[in-house]
A and B are shown apart, each in its own frame.
Chain A
Amino acid sequence: GAVVSQHPSWVICKSGTSVKIECRSLDFQATTMFWYRQFPKQSLMLMATSNEGSKATYEQGVEKDKFLINHASLTLSTLTVTSAHPEDSSFYICSAPDRFYEQYFGPGTRLTVT
Chain B
Amino acid sequence: QKEVEQNSGPLSVPEGAIASLNCTYSDRGSQSFFWYRQYSGKSPELIMFIYSNGDKEDGRFTAQLNKASQYVSLLIRDSQPSDSATYLCAAGGNNDMRFGAGTRLTVKP
Contact = CB atoms under 8 A, between A and B. Distances in A.
A43 B45 contact: no
Contacts of B31: 101
A49 interface: yes
15 contacts: A43-B86, A43-B100, A43-B101, A44-B44, A44-B102, A91-B41, A93-B43, A100-B32, A100-B49, A102-B32, A102-B34, A102-B49, A105-B45, A106-B43, A108-B43
Nearest to B45: A105
Contacts of B41: 91
A32 B49 contact: no
A103 B34 contact: yes
Interface residues of A, number: 21
B17 interface: no
B97 A34 contact: yes
Nearest to B32: A101
B99 A105 contact: no
Q: Which 4 A-B pairs have CB atoms at the shortest separation, nearest pair first?
A: A43-B101, A105-B43, A101-B92, A43-B102
Given A43-B99, A43-B100, A43-B101, A103 B90 contact: yes
A44 B32 contact: no
B97 A108 contact: no
Given A34-B97, A44-B102, A46-B98, 13 more contacts: A43-B88, A43-B99, A43-B102, A44-B44, A44-B88, A46-B99, A49-B95, A93-B43, A95-B97, A97-B95, A100-B32, A102-B46, A107-B42
Residue in A91, A95, A103, A108 whose Cβ sees the most chain B Cβ within 10 Å: A103
A85 B98 CA distance: 27
B93 interface: yes
A95 B98 CA distance: 12
Contacts of B45: 105
Interface string A23-46: 000000001101010000011101
A46 B92 CA distance: 13
